[in-house]
Amino acid sequence: MLLGLDVGDRRVGIACADTEVRIATPVDVVVRASFDDDTRAIDRFVHAYGVAQLVVGLPRNMDGTRGAQAEAVVAYAEKIGRALSRPVVFWDERLTTLEAARRVHETGVRGTKSRRGLDAIAAAVILQDYMDAQGNPE
């Protein structure tokens, strides 16, 4: 199992995927608090789904370079990975928020619920893109 994370300053979108089925599903959103609280919240998903690896969206600039936000995400995710004893893979998340917003808009959901859902959907888009790029293991 893979756990996809869309790490933001206030929230972490969570998605999960079975590596055999290869379909990412939005799961939930963790509202960031302290690092320890964040770790405990993410650990619940790791154990509930039997997660072997974390796939974290890397917010690159449109020209492909890594800015301050990308460096902050890398530091946070690597620390989470060490705390949970899980490998972390970073995946380019450029334009995933736009794709997630399009999907939320199509459902007709509005307001705070749509913003929270957007983070989980963005995590699913990141995770699905990662799996699709790995090709068919068969």
Domain residue spans of the chain: 2-133
pLDDT at 67: 78
State how far the Cα of 3 lies from the Cα of 38, in Å rounded to an integer.
15
If residue 124 lies in a helix (H) or strand (E), which one and from where to where? helix 112-133
pLDDT at 138 over 50: no
Higher pLDDT, 136 or 112: 136
Q: What is the DSSP letter of 128?
A: H
pLDDT at 68: 86
Cα separation of 79 and 98, whole Å? 27
Residue 28: pLDDT above 80?
Answer: yes
Sign of CA dihedral 104, 129, 119, 10: negative
Q: Tokens 């974290």 label which residue?
A: 56
More confident residue, 44 or 20: 44
pLDDT (0 to 100) of residue 60:
80
Q: Give me the chain's average pLDDT, please.
A: 85
Q: What is the mean pLDDT of residues 28-53?
A: 96
Q: Is pLDDT of 95 > 70? A: no
Predicted local distance difference test score (pLDDT) of residue 136: 59
Check residues 105 and 32 and name the one with the higher pLDDT: 32
60 vs 79: CA distance, rounded Å: 19
CATH 3.30.420.140 fits 2-133, yes or no: yes
| Residue 7 banded pLDDT, cuts 50, 70, 90 | very high
pLDDT > 90: percent of the chain:
59
pTM score: 0.83
